[in-house]
A and B are shown apart, each in its own frame.
Chain A
Amino acid sequence: MASTQSVGEKSTNIPFYRDERILRIFAQVISTVIVVGLLIWAALNFLKAAEARNMTLTFGFLKEAAGFPISNPPIEYDPSMSFGRAFFVGLVNTLLVSVTGVITATILGTLVALARLSSNWLLGRIALVFIEFNRNIPLLVLLFILYFVVFGQLPQVKESITWPGPMYINRRGIYLTWPRLTESGTPFVVLVFVGILLAVIAFVVLRRHREMTGQNTYYVQASIGIFVLSGVIGWALTGGTPFEFSVPVLEGFNFQGGLRLTPEFAGMFIGLTTYTAAFIAEVVRSGIQAVDRGQIEAARAVGLSTTQVLSLVVMPQALRIIIPPMISQYLNLTKNSSLALAIGFQEVFSVGKIAINQAGRAVPVFALVMITYLTLSLLTSLVLNIYNRSIQFVTR
């Protein structure tokens, strides 16, 4: 370093083709020209090919009536609504299966990782089998098995399996008795939310007070108390009936009422969860094993309990290793949800494929689908990267 600098300083008459600084700028310019040139060339080529094939590249069709049905739309939709709306319905379905999938896969994956690391031989083996089974089978195959083989064995509607609750399981889905908010239930929900907020604030403030002063402030008890109290007040305000239970009843062809999980959603959800959980389990295991044994021994030596060792010493260090590969797993899960078109769950890609066919606009629809996934992925990365930064070692 020092030598190059001194060379640069004293030899001002060095020819430009040997001057490192000039060459460096030159290389930057060249590579920029190449990259931009390639992009322009590709774009022009694409436009030319699209024009030659009479493919329309406008997005005007998004306002036209879609005309096709979507199975079990999560938000209001009927075929007289626009392509844009249909696309949005698909997006909601994608988000629904991705978000629930990410949450359950994380929980399941962590549990499996802990089981895999446990000293219990049987538990460890079961976890191993779970991981190897799920991550060595293509997801599509897993989905087909779940949907056509496993769910295909379920009984017809009239012979539904009945579990207490009542809960019905048949070829058309799982029907649960589910609480529905009554008309007078709104204040209850509002108060519960306020209660949660107050409880969190109390928890934080009181704990800080204790940490500063050393006085016992009973922060756990206080926050639980606030939460329960707000719930009770809310209950009283609504006259004791904030909820009523909606019970599934067989009417005509199908069960009506209650909460229903369709086989398409259930297949997708279970498939994505178990498949991704297997990968997450390995990520978590690698993170935990990367923590130096000495750290654990030292923590034990100062008298921390097993839980404390895990939560105060192992996890904070393991998380730094776990988070980056975990982001990839979350992104994979979101993108893998596009396989849903094979088993009839209509997320953004399968709606897009239909729109391509019904509207005859392949390029705009694919562009839209790509932008959608890109946005979802970048948002996920952004949030998790911020989190990742917050848990890094603080160095001064």
Chain B
Amino acid sequence: MARSSAWKRYNVRVIWLTLLYGAFLLPAVYGFKHQLVPHSIAYLVAILPALPIVGIFVAIGRYLVEEQDEYVRMLMVRQTLWASGVSLSAATIWGFLESFGLIGRVDGYYVVIAWFFGLGIGGCVNKLTLGDGGC
């Protein structure tokens, strides 16, 4: 299937954001590990690696707005709905297991990892139900 120009723009944005993520994350990890980050800018340094990930969500939203092929857009919408369902359900179950003292607490970004995993599940569901995995 030929990729649309919206899809190409989306890929370029995601690649840049991923590079930016690496550029922010590595110094932040190094800085916190060796206690080089002053307390006054600790929040800023901790938030910086999160921003490119937030940007990826914006890029997905932008792609959905720019995509002209309604069928391809519908496939991506279905994928994102599956991703949201999977990640929010996982967070709910994990949260109650934590609350009942059965498992330890985890960093909030694992929910986002679950979301991207859910995006893959959505692609599989699209493939199985519509015969087209989409994006």
Report if A and B associate in a common complex.
no
Give residues in A with beta carbon < 8 Å to B: none
